[in-house]
């Protein structure tokens, strides 16, 4: 086993045993999320199974699920460049 792989294995196992964080944003209705992101300056490019939004420099994809899972929503909010607190204000 090479030195690089030997150093990677303990890191991998330690990451797997970490407790997952509770999402700061609970499940959100996708229509409410789209509305909040529109208030933040995004607009809809297209709709289908997902809603694709942009602000001219960032592209977001929101699944049309009710509710959108909290961890998924946190990733979308992070990609939008917003904080969890700011997104909750926009809701």
Q: Categorize the per-residue pLDDT at 37 as very low, low, confident or very high, splitting at 50, 70 and 90.
A: very high
What would the two tokens of residue 32 be?
Answer: 């409410």
Domains in the chain (CATH in brackets) are 21-90 (3.30.920.30)
Mean residue pLDDT of the chain comes to 82
| pLDDT tens profile 53-81 | 999 999 999 999 888 888 889 999 999 99
CA separation for the pair 75, 71 (Å, rounded): 6
Q: What is the pLDDT of residue 28?
A: 86
Burial degree of 90 (CB within 10 A; 0-12, 13-18, 19+): middle
Q: What is the pLDDT of residue 7?
A: 54
Q: What is the pLDDT of residue 63?
A: 93
**pTM, full prediction:** 0.72
Which residues, 6 or more positions from 11, have their beta carbon under 8 angstroms from its beta carbon?
none
Q: What is the pLDDT of residue 26?
A: 79
| pLDDT tens profile 24-34 | 777 889 999 99
């Amino acid at each position: 086993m090479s030195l690089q792989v030997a150093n990677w294995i303990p890191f991998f196992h330690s990451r797997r045993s970490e407790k997952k964080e509770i999402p700061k944003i609970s499940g959100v209705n996708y229509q409410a999320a789209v509305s909040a992101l529109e208030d933040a300056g995004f607009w809809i490019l297209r709709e289908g199974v997902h809603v694709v939004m942009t602000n001219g420099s960032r592209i977001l994809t929101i699944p049309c699920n009710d509710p959108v899972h909290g961890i998924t929503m946190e990733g979308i909010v992070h990609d939008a460049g917003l904080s969890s607190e700011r997104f909750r204000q926009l809701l």
